[in-house]
Chain A
Amino acid sequence: MITVVDYGVGNIGALLNMLDYVGIDARASSDEHTIARAEKLILPGVGAFDKAMSALVDSGLLAPLNRAVLEDRVPVLGVCLGMQLLGRCSEEGSLAGLGWIDAEVRRIRVPEGSGLKVPHIGWSTVSVRRETHWLRSGAVVPRFYFVHSFHMVCDSPDDVIGEVDYGDSLCCAVQRGHIAGVQFHPEKSHRYGMHLLSAWAQDSNRRRPA
């Protein structure tokens, strides 16, 4: 059972729709006990960094999330802004992030005259930097729907598992142990997203030893 963290920020309906379609048990919850005891967590998020962080704090979910992820090592997948929240901080705001990944979030800067617009909206292929069970380059080139103005910059290249080319190579998928995140929207990315969510949900069954 996947618990999708419902803190009032994020497109939870679309995530649940796709998880349901591919046959994965999932529920949305804003209850701290449910979240503290979750088997797997998805942290969604759209909009502004500070607004999302204060919503997490106000909903009283910060402590149960920290306990689940840092102490009990519950697998977690941050999606879109949910990925950015995994970092320490963001150029978009002044509040601290969750700090589960050593990274900060910066605004996308496109080269002048490139004609590229910010936000980056649309379908892009992802270059896999490190193969994981849920994101791999194979016969089918992984392409996903993006919509974002900010991107994560990791301290350690080891945490970066996927990048997208948008004026520059931008980190768009991270994994450090049981903590993972994607900048794009798997729930809006046809079979590419279905495959990713299924693979993540299945393999992250096993909690990794501390």
Chain B
Amino acid sequence: MRKRLIPVLLIDAGRRLVKTVRFGERTYVGDPFNVIRLFNEKEVDEICVLDIDAGPKSSKPDFGFMRELASECFMPLAYGGGIRTMADCEELNRLGVEKFVLGHAAFEPGFVKVVSDALGSQAVVVCIDVVGTGPTARCITHSGRKTHDLHPLAHALAMQAAGAGEIVLQSVDRDGLRKGMDLGLIDDVAHKLVVPLVALGGAGDLSHLAMALRSGASAVASGSAFSFIGRLRAVLITYPSRSEVDDALAALKTVSP
């Protein structure tokens, strides 16, 4: 089985596709529908849509927008942002979203278990935002404003036990920098989990993604590696073919066995 490569689309309160650097500075990328169509054509493995304003603004998920988006999305679709209740998950599920990305809500005692029991563990993706690295790495929430005295591995194991079907490990420090992913942390966490680990944050090209897969990630997610702004502000989409991914993984093996 080929490991999954997952484009991440960040959506703001104005239903615009944006990019961030270290969860801060935003750049407007383009129209999300146009980008979804391009990803459909590329037959991407999966799409992850994150509303980065719904959580901080304490608003509900934009159900109307997601309904429209899901109706054009013929691949697995994960959504995160502003999910706080079981009813939010059920409503999204009716629209055609089958994975719910929980960040802050995963810290609510019992919430992961409730969703997992009701909709199945495959529907629950816990996204762990991380600052720092190695043993001093810490979980953060609220778009990076609240730090928890908790190592991401401990949180990941607790979430797995509570019923999460997948763990997204996101490095906030590397967000948008395109310099590579936190391979040490990925290695450390992925091998201690039974459920798949999805690495996110820092990738700029295929080699970065391949290195994360080699470090133990079951899947890699990225905004920057798959879409960027070209000349004349056109959105460019890039998504590797299966053979390109195989070649990138093979190249790593020959460089450092």
Establish whether residues B218 and A117, one from each chain, have CB atoms under 8 Å apart when the complex forms: yes
Would A13 and B76 count as touching, CB distance under 8 A?
A: no
Q: B131 → chain A, closest Cβ, in Å?
A: 27
> Provided the pairs A14-B70, A188-B98 are in contact, do residues A48 and B120 lie with their beta carbons within 8 angstroms?
yes
Select the stretch in A57-65, A131-139, A152-160, A189-197 that faces chain B: A189-197
Residue contact B43 to A122, C-beta cutoff 8 Å: no
Whether A124 sits at the interface, judged by CB under 8 Å, is yes
Please tell me if the beta carbons of A117 and B196 are within 8 angstroms of each other in the complex: yes
A16, A166, A190: residue with the most chain B Cβ atoms closer than 10 Å: A190
CA A193 – CA B75 in complex, angstroms? 10
Q: How many A residues touch B, CB cutoff 8 Å?
A: 33
Residue A40, interface by CB 8 Å: no
Q: Does A18 contact B (CB under 8 A)?
A: yes
Interface residues of B, count at CB 8 A:
35
Chain B residues near A193 (CB-CB < 8 A): 74
* Interface segment, one of B88-96, B105-113, B143-151, B173-181: B88-96
B45–A119 touching, CB < 8 Å = no
In the complex, are the beta carbons of B74 and A122 less than 8 A apart? no
Write the chain B residue with the least CB distance to A192.
B43
Which one of B1-9, B50-58, B220-228, B232-240 contacts A?
B1-9
| Structural contact, B1 and A123, CB atoms closer than 8 A | yes
A187 and B74 contact, CB distance less than 8 A: yes
Partner of B122, one of A21, A119, A194: A119
Closest to B194 in A: A117
Given A117-B196, A188-B74: A122 and B96 within 8 A (CB)? no
Q: In the complex, what's the smallest C-beta–C-beta distance from A181 to chain B, in angstroms?
A: 18
Q: How far is the CB of A184 from chain B (nearest CB, A)?
A: 11
- In the complex, residue of chain B having the shortest beta-carbon distance to the beta carbon of A186: B74
Given the known interface contacts A185-B76, A189-B74, the answer about A13 and B95 at a Cβ–Cβ threshold of 8 Å is yes
For the complex, is A145 an interface residue (Cβ under 8 Å from B)? Answer: yes
Is A18 within 8 A of B120, CB to CB?
Answer: no
Q: Is B1 in contact with A120, judged by CB distance below 8 angstroms? A: yes
Bound form: Cα–Cα A13–B76 in Å: 12
Residues in B whose Cβ lies below 8 Å from that of A16: 96
Given A46-B119, A122-B45, check contact A190 B1 (CB 8 Å): no
B43 near A190 (CB under 8 angstroms)? yes
Cβ-neighbour of A121 out of B94, B119, B196 (below 8 A):
B196
Interface residues of B in 72-102 (CB under 8 A from A): 73-77, 93-98
Q: Which residues of B contact A20 (CB under 8 A)?
A: 71
Within the complex, what minimum Cβ distance (angstroms) separates A112 from chain B?
A: 13
> Given A118-B194, A122-B4, is A46 in contact with B120 using a C-beta cutoff of 8 Å?
yes
Please measure, in the bound complex, the distance between the C-alpha atom of A149 and the C-alpha atom of B166, giving whole angstroms.
13
B121 contacts the other chain (CB 8 A): yes
Cα of A141 to Cα of B194 in the assembled complex, Å: 30
Q: Indicate if the CB atoms of A122 and B3 lie closer than 8 Å.
A: yes
**Contact assessment for A17 and B45 in the assembled complex, using a CB-CB cutoff below 8 Å:** no
- CB A95 to nearest CB in B, in angstroms, measures 16
Picked from A14, A48, A189, A191, the residue with its CB within 8 Å of the CB of B96 is A14
Contacts of A17 in B (CB 8 A): 70-71, 73-74, 96
Instruction: Name 4 extra pairs, CB < 8 A, besides A14-B97, A47-B119, A145-B76.
Output: A17-B70, A120-B1, A189-B74, A189-B75
Chain B contact residues, CB within 8 Å of chain A: 1-4, 40, 43, 45-46, 70-71, 73-77, 93-98, 117-123, 165-166, 194-196, 218-219
23 contacts between A and B (CB under 8 A): A13-B70, A14-B70, A17-B74, A21-B71, A46-B98, A47-B119, A48-B117, A117-B195, A117-B196, A121-B165, A121-B196, A122-B3, A123-B1, A123-B2, A123-B4, A123-B45, A145-B45, A187-B74, A188-B77, A188-B98, A189-B74, A190-B75, A191-B43
